[in-house]
Amino acid sequence: MIIPNENKVFEYFEEIIKIPRGSGNEKEISDYIANFARERNLEAVQDSENNVIVKKNAFPEYEDKAPVILQGHIDMVCVKKSGIDHDFLKDPIKAVVNGDFISADGTSLGADDGIGVAYMLALLDSEDIPHPPLECVFTADEEVGMGGAKSLDMSGLNGRRLINIDSENEGVFCVSCAGGVRVNLTIPLEWDAEKPSDFKGFDIKITGLLGGHSGSDIHLQRASAIKLMGRILNRISGETEIRIADISGGSADNAIAAFAQAEIFVNKDYHLEETLNQLKKEFNREYKSAGESIYLSMEEARPERILTTDASERIIKALVLIPYGVNTVSLEMENLVESSCNPGVVSMDGKEFLIKCAVRSSTDIRKRVQAENIKILASLVGGRTWEQGDYPSWEYNPDSRLMDFVPKLYEKMFGKNAKIESIHAGLECGVFAGKIPGIDMISFGPGLFEVHSVNERLSISSAERMWDFLKEILKNID
């Protein structure tokens, strides 16, 4: 094993990260879980969307207890460092252990939510862990709008208590979360028949940014490479004529963009390097407090074709005006981001320029307001929007028995204060609440850091503690 630990959880975690499982590519991990269950004579239902439900009978003397649903998602956000040769459709994640932390070699780790999946597999494989009847739910496509949970037939679930194992801060217990929707803005491309003879081509790159989770990290005010690229192109356009040949950036709409690239044409006498050096100083001064180290580079390029002046201007306006960051904060819960927008991916396919945005909000009204604002922006730049992956928020339940029991058990076991919170990230609990009236839910997990980024890492000691904690919950839940 790469991970030096005899705990079954880490054995299964290592197996999981060997299986490519980016959102939309979950058939192999889904089959693995279904076969795992059948090999152990456990009841397993696998649907066409790659969701899997596995049921396990109660431990002796726990037969009279009500069943408990355990839930996590099988997909991961796929992010890699610029220049890393890794194909997320077929290559396994390479784990790296450094002291107490497991990370990956140049890519995201997928501990979100691979560790939750590993916990459930270890429970299903166990013969000596006391527990009530278990219904382990492995959902697909959580990271791109919770499509798996939304399509899941939950009529066969008997549990009315659900433990979601998809949170990232040990000792912090989530009891509500934001809803969200993916909003895609597209602008039709118009190509020029000829390249201006007095223009020169350049390839501009932005690298070195921290990136991060577009929900749980959005309040940290980290730089977005996509927004910085918009500012660069806008600065150039204010000083000389600019034509765009290509733009790309970001890796997932729910990850803060850590890199961006643009191929442009400018007048051959324009001092581009001087402008980029000035902007690099401005960016690093602006984002110093956020811990960013921003790098801008340029080299000569020879694009085969360029956009018209009008198309280039409309794209630059969209990049400058597309909202990024916190929009509103809650007036009811302290330090809770209420609504935000993250333009996580930009690309061009020859026909359209695309910006993929993740819109989040604790209220449906402000979710719709943000989506409508992007729609209006699209109309102003000659584009359009379309939406996907709309999912509901999970509302706070002051009468939750799990909220009363689980944090107190943590404090008793570890002598540490537990924290109850609502989060700005999305969890599938909102979908379950809509399909199973009256369900009682709580979410927790081990210490995960900088998820949805190449710096994602899992604390080994925290994962061990939360494994012991999960077993104690199942042993003592009434």
Buried b (16+ CB within 10 A) or exposed e, 204-216: bbbbbbbbbbbbb
Kindly name the residue from 15, 112, 135, 142 that is annotated as catalytic.
Answer: 142
Kindly name the residue from 26, 75, 253, 440 that is annotated as catalytic.
Answer: 75
Q: Distance between CA 93 and CA 84 in Å, rounded?
A: 12
Vertex 154: Cα angle to 148 and 158 (nearest 5): 140
Q: Distance between CA 27 and CA 31 in Å, rounded?
A: 6
Q: To 10 degrees, what angle do helices 364-380 and 309-321 make?
A: 160
* Residue 450 a catalytic site member: no
* Residue 75 a catalytic site member: yes
CB 458 within 8 A of CB 467: no
HSE, side-chain direction, 13 A CA sphere, residue 60 = 2
| Catalytic residue numbers, as ranges | 75, 142
